[in-house]
Structure 1
Amino acid sequence: MKKERHDSIVVCGTSLAGLATALGLTKAGFSVALLGPRSVPTTPAPDVYHPRVYAISATSQAFLARLGVWNLMDARRVTPVQAMEVHGDASGVVNLDAWQGAETALAWIVESGQMERALQQAVQFFGITWHAEKFERLESGVVHTDSGRVLRPDLLIGADGGQSPVRKAAGISHHSRAYGDTGVVTHLTTERRHQNTAVQWFTGDTVLALLPMPDTADGHQVSMVWSMPEAMAHELLALPPEGRASWLESRLAAATGGRLGALSVRSPVFGFPLFIEHSSMVAPGVALVSDAAHRVHPLAGQGLNLGLGDIEALVDVLSAKESFRGAGDIRVLERYRRARAEPILAMRLATDGLHKLFASQAAPVVLARNVGMQCADRLPFVKRLLINAAAGGKPGV
Structure 2
Amino acid sequence: MKHEHILVCGGGLAGMACALALKKAGFSPRILAPAYKPMVLAAHQYHPRVYALSATSQAFLNELGVWSLMDAARITPVSGMELYGDGDGFVQLDSWQNAQSTLTWIVESGEIERVLHQALQVYSVPWQDDFFDQLTATGIQTKGGVQIPADLIIGADGARSQLRAKAHIEHQARPYKHNGVVAHLDAQLPHQHIAYQWFVGDAVLALLPMPDTDRGPQVSMVWSVQESQANDFMALDRAAQAAHLQSLLGALTQHRLGSLRLRSEPFSFPLTLERSAMIAPKVALIGDAAHRVHPLAGQGLNLGLGDIEELVRVLSTKASYQSVGDSRVLERYRRARVEPIMAMRWVTHGLHQLFSLPGAPIAFARNVGMNMVNKVPFIKRQLIEGAAGRKTGFF
* TM-score between both structures, scaled by the size of structure 2: 0.98
The alignment status of 1:199 with 2:196, answered yes or no, reads yes
Displacement of 1:141 = 4.5
The alignment status of 1:44 with 2:47, answered yes or no, reads no
Letter in 2 for 1:229: Q
1:181 corresponds in structure 2 to 178
1:284 corresponds in structure 2 to 281
1:30 corresponds in structure 2 to 27
Displacement of 1:43 = 5.0
What are the residue-to-residue correspondences of 1:24-173 with 2, within 5 Å? 24-173=21-170
Q: Measure the CA separation in 2 of the matches of 1:36 and 1:193.
A: 40
2:242 corresponds in structure 1 to 245
Contact map agreement 1:186 1:270 (CA 8 A) in 2: yes
1:18 corresponds in structure 2 to 15
Displacement of 1:46 = 2.5
Letter in 2 for 1:284: P
**Unpaired runs of at least 5, structure 2:** none
CA distances 1:336-356 after superposition (whole Å, capped 9, x unpaired): 000000000000010000000
2:319 corresponds in structure 1 to 322
Displacement of 1:102 = 1.3
1:331 corresponds in structure 2 to 328
- SS of equivalent residue, structure 1 residue 294: coil
Label 1:326 to 1:127 Cα distance change in 2 as closer, same or farther (>3 A).
same
Letter in 2 for 1:82: S
**Unpaired runs of at least 5, structure 1:** none
Q: Measure the CA separation in 2 of the matches of 1:168 and 1:55.
A: 30
Q: Measure the CA separation in 1 of the matches of 2:169 and 2:340.
A: 20
Q: Measure the CA separation in 2 of the matches of 1:93 and 1:245.
A: 28
CA distances 1:123-158 after superposition (whole Å, capped 9, x unpaired): 101000000100011133520001111012000000
1:226 corresponds in structure 2 to 223
Q: Measure the CA separation in 2 of the matches of 1:198 and 1:322.
A: 45
- SS of equivalent residue, structure 1 residue 259: coil
Letter in 1 for 2:7: V
Contact map agreement 2:343 2:392 (CA 8 A) in 1: no
Letter in 1 for 2:31: L
Label 1:395 to 1:380 Cα distance change in 2 as closer, same or farther (>3 A).
farther
Please point out which of 356, 366, 390 is paired with 2:387: 390
Q: Measure the CA separation in 2 of the matches of 1:103 and 1:41.
A: 34
Q: Measure the CA separation in 1 of the matches of 2:281 and 2:392.
A: 33
Q: Identity over aligned residues, as a percent?
A: 56
Contact map agreement 1:79 1:212 (CA 8 A) in 2: yes
Q: Measure the CA separation in 1 of the matches of 2:137 and 2:351.
A: 42
The alignment status of 1:271 with 2:271, answered yes or no, reads no
What's the RMSD between the two structures over aligned residues? 1.1
Q: Measure the CA separation in 2 of the matches of 1:109 and 1:303.
A: 13
Q: Measure the CA separation in 2 of the matches of 1:198 and 1:8.
A: 43
Please point out which of 305, 310, 313 is paired with 2:307: 310
Please point out which of 243, 254, 258 is paired with 1:257: 254
* TM-score between both structures, scaled by the size of structure 1: 0.98
Displacement of 1:39 = 2.1
Q: Measure the CA separation in 2 of the matches of 1:297 and 1:121.
A: 31
- SS of equivalent residue, structure 2 residue 35: coil
Displacement of 1:395 = 6.0
2:377 corresponds in structure 1 to 380
Q: Measure the CA separation in 1 of the matches of 2:216 and 2:109.
A: 22
Contact map agreement 1:141 1:285 (CA 8 A) in 2: no
